[in-house]
Amino acid sequence: MLPEQNLTQPMTTTIPLRPIVPVVPITYQTENDISANRRQELVDLMNQRLASGVDLQLQLKQAHWNVKGPNFIGLHELFDKVSEGVESYVDTIAERIVQLGGVAEGTVRTAASRSRLEEYPLDIANGSAHVEAVSKALSDFGHDARQTILEVTELNDADTADIFTEVSRGIDKWLWFVEAHSQATK
Ligand SMILES: [Fe+2]
Question: What's the pLDDT tens digit per position in 110-148?
Answer: 999 999 999 999 999 999 999 999 999 999 999 999 999
Ligand 1 centroid to 64 CA: how many Å?
A: 7
Ligand 1 centroid to 184 CA: how many Å?
A: 27
Domain that holds residue 98: 36-179
Residue 85 inside a domain? The answer is yes
Ligand 1 centroid to 167 CA: how many Å?
A: 23
Collapsed DSSP state (helix, strand, coil) of residue 68: strand
pLDDT of residue 21: 56
Residue type, 35: S
Point out which residues pair with 126 in neighbouring strands. Answer: 68
pLDDT of residue 6: 47
Residue 8 inside a domain? The answer is no
pLDDT of residue 24: 74
Residue 89 inside a domain? The answer is yes
Residue 1 inside a domain? The answer is no
pLDDT of residue 17: 73
Mean pLDDT of 28-35: 91
pLDDT band at 72 (very low <50, low <70, confident <90, very high): very high
pLDDT of residue 5: 45
Residue 13 inside a domain? The answer is no
Ligand 1 centroid to 34 CA: how many Å?
A: 41
Residue 104 inside a domain? The answer is yes
pLDDT of residue 89: 98
Residue 15 inside a domain? The answer is no
Ligand 1 centroid to 77 CA: how many Å?
A: 8
Give the H/E segment covering residue 95. helix 72-99
Mean pLDDT of 22-49: 88
Ligand 1 centroid to 65 CA: how many Å?
A: 7
Residue 19 inside a domain? The answer is no
Residue-wise pLDDT for 154-186, tens only, equals: 999 999 999 999 999 999 999 999 999 998 877
Domain count, the chain: 1
Q: For residues 57 and 142, is the Cβ–Cβ distance under 8 A?
A: no
Q: For residues 93 and 99, is the Cβ–Cβ distance under 8 A?
A: no
Looking up residue 53, the CATH number of its domain turns out to be 1.20.1260.10
